[in-house]
Amino acid sequence: MSVLDNAVYIPYGRQTIDEEDIQAVAEVLRSDYLTTGTKSIEFEQEVCKYIGAKYAVAISNGTAALHAACSVAGIGAGDEVITTPLTFAASANCVFYCGGRPVFADVDKRTYNIDPEDIERKITDRTKAILPVHLSGQPCDMDAIYEIAEKHHLLVIEDGAHALGAKYKGSCIGKDSYMATFSFHPVKPITTGEGGMIVTNEEGLYQKLRLFRSHCITRDSSMMTRNEGSWFYQQLDLGYNYRITDIQCALGISQMKKLNQFLRRRRELAKQYDKAFADNSDIIVPYQQPDTESGYHLYMIQAPHHDRRKIFEGLRNAGIGVNVHYIPVYYHPYYQRNGYHNICCSNAEEIYSHLISLPLYPGLTDQEQKFVIETLEHLLETA
């Protein structure tokens, strides 16, 4: 593979699926239950065991997981939830779904994660929760965030869409959480096609999440206002069809067996990028907070002395599917129209203007990575 070889296409992220995964899915397709069978419970148990949390609820996608978490946390009209602008829009949209308002706190210049000091500045008497996002799989400063939450009596809902298997002070993200959510979109640490999970340590939340996922319908007579017979069920509140299929959960169970292997390879590739760029003053590599182990969902670099558009397009033209994570959420027209036009999180804006996510996924070969590195270095010298 050479710098000028245009026949290649290397995406920024990609699922890793093997025969065992395919067999697991095929088995469900031959079974009686394509959905509402036993696979979601098995998948939830696997994730709980891995993370060390007490309860998990599998759900149709990571956005639904955030919606469910905000809803059962009681976010409602007039409530403010503080989150980061440097994230996928879902991290903030979930607050709107519940009638609340996301409030953006700026990010830390080094980690790109929400800055606890700015969280504190953004607290008002309407603030109900903090919603930190473990961007790229790098854990947020959770001690500082929980300290602020305790001081101001706020809830903490962690968006761990990027962070399955990432560790903060030796524990998996989600282990000690009030609630943490995950996504299983194909580029994520494991995949179920589309899919998500909420983990919690509170039984009451677990029960509410299970109801929310399926129209808030129950067949448990102890929860019903009356019972007319064994056919009977009641809708206790407004819920959704956010169920995940057994087909997806079978894939998830099979993928969980390989999570450690996936994480090892992601971390190895990240180290190789770090090493390759160590002496290149044009490139800022992802900073790693001591006492954390990133899951390296993304490898986000900055090239602040160069025209990002030129570098980005040069890489794309070479067949390298780079991406940018993320456009600050409040830049989007929906947010601009809804009162966020005067917001400025200067660190997030500055970082965004230089960001490029390089390819990183377990199936990326050393040879492909070398091609990415050489192409980027060549562009930085010439563009």
Residues that bind ligand PLP (CB under 6 A): 61-63, 87-88, 90-91, 133, 159, 161-162, 183, 185, 196
CB of 227 to ligand PLP, least distance (A): 36
CB of 378 to ligand PLP, least distance (A): 30
336: which DSSP letter?
A: I
Quick one: 87 or 302, whose CB is closer to ligand PLP? 87
Quick one: 196 or 328, whose CB is closer to ligand PLP? 196
**Positive or negative CA dihedral for 135, 136, 139, 141?**
negative
Quick one: 188 or 210, whose CB is closer to ligand PLP? 188
Asked if 370 and 364 touch (Cβ cutoff 8 Å), the reply is no
CB of 135 to ligand PLP, least distance (A): 7
CA distance 361 to 11: 9
Strands (E) in the chain, as ranges, are 10-11, 55-59, 80-83, 101-104, 127-131, 155-159, 167-168, 171-172, 179-183, 196-200, 217-218, 234-235, 292-293, 299-302, 320-321, 355-358
Quick one: 14 or 378, whose CB is closer to ligand PLP? 14
Quick one: 67 or 167, whose CB is closer to ligand PLP? 67
CB of 217 to ligand PLP, least distance (A): 23
- Judge residue 271's burial from the number of C-beta atoms within 10 Å of its C-beta, 0-12 exposed, 13-18 middle, 19 or more buried: exposed
CB of 275 to ligand PLP, least distance (A): 27
Quick one: 183 or 323, whose CB is closer to ligand PLP? 183
Q: Which residues are CB-contacts of 260 (< 8 A; sequence separation ≥ 6)?
A: 165
Quick one: 345 or 376, whose CB is closer to ligand PLP? 345
Quick one: 200 or 218, whose CB is closer to ligand PLP? 200
Residue 244, both tokens = 């995940």
Quick one: 39 or 162, whose CB is closer to ligand PLP? 162
CB of 92 to ligand PLP, least distance (A): 9
CA distance 204 to 200: 10
Peptide bond into 206 cis (omega under 30): no
138: which DSSP letter?
A: P
Task: Name the closest residue to ligand PLP (Cβ).
Answer: 62
The 10 Å CB-count burial string (b at 16+, else e) for 351-367 is bbebbbbbbbbbebeee
CA distance 381 to 50: 44
Token pair 């909420």 in the structure block, residue: 198
CA distance 300 to 358: 6
CB of 245 to ligand PLP, least distance (A): 14
Between the two ends of the chain, the Cα-to-Cα distance in Å is 21
Residue 162, both tokens = 């990027």
CB of 232 to ligand PLP, least distance (A): 34
CB of 90 to ligand PLP, least distance (A): 4
Residue 27, both tokens = 């088995």
CB of 93 to ligand PLP, least distance (A): 9
CA distance 62 to 337: 25
Quick one: 262 or 277, whose CB is closer to ligand PLP? 262
Phi-psi category of residue 211: left, alpha or beta, with phi > 0 → left and psi -120 to 50 → alpha: alpha
